[in-house]
Amino acid sequence: MAVLKVIEVLANSDKSWEDATKKAVKHASKSLKNIRSVYVQDQSASVKDGEVSDFRVNLKITFEVE
């Protein structure tokens, strides 16, 4: 049996939602071990001067507790 925990993480990128997701997982993996999955709960973007300037994701990261 495994004990899993879920945390919520917000991340952003000036490139894409995918890049924001990858940055969030990379940063979370510095302090969390055994990350099992990522669920993208919400996506949004900022607009500046008529163009998308920032991509944001709200993630749920699931990891195994040792």
Range of the domain at 8: 3-65
For residue 4 the two structure tokens come to 């899993």
Question: DSSP readout, 6-64?
Answer: EEEEEEEESS-HHHHHHHHHHHHTTT---EEEEEEEEEEEEEETTEEEEEEEEEEEEEE
Q: What is the pLDDT of residues 8-33, one digit of tens each?
A: 999 999 999 999 999 999 999 999 99
CATH number at residue 51: 3.30.1660.10
Phi, psi of 45 (to 5 degrees): -145, 150
Residue 60 has pLDDT above 90, yes or no: yes
Beta carbons of 14 and 66 less than 8 angstroms apart? no
Domain count, the chain: 1
pTM of the complete model:
0.88
Span 37-46, mean pLDDT? 96
pLDDT at 66 over 90: no
